[in-house]
Amino acid sequence: YRIADIHKPLLRDYIKDMLDKKVLAIHKGNGRWNFPMISAYKKPPKDEPEKLVRRHCLDVRMLNKITSDYVVK
């Protein structure tokens, strides 16, 4: 996915912080599965409704499509 230039420094800082904390590991692979990281707005806090807060997450919708049949109901 493309990301706006204005968001690239935020994402770069987020990834660097996660790598420094050893929460995230990046490995080069040649598999057919990869999941793009997306940045989305969270709901603003009730005490600061004008504050924009972003969250970063992986887009795994394609994986969910093929694994939803395996869910135990």
Tokens at 3, concatenated: 């990301």
- What is the C-alpha separation between 73 and 53, in angstroms, rounded? 35
Query: What pLDDT score was predicted for residue 20?
Result: 92
* Contact (Cβ atoms closer than 8 angstroms) between residue 51 and residue 45: yes
Nearest CA among 57, 23, 15, 24 for reference residue 39: 57
pTM: 0.50
Confidence of residue 73 (pLDDT cuts 50, 70, 90): low
* pLDDT of the residue at 27: 75
Cα 14 to the center of its chain, rounded Å: 10
CA distance 36 to 38: 6
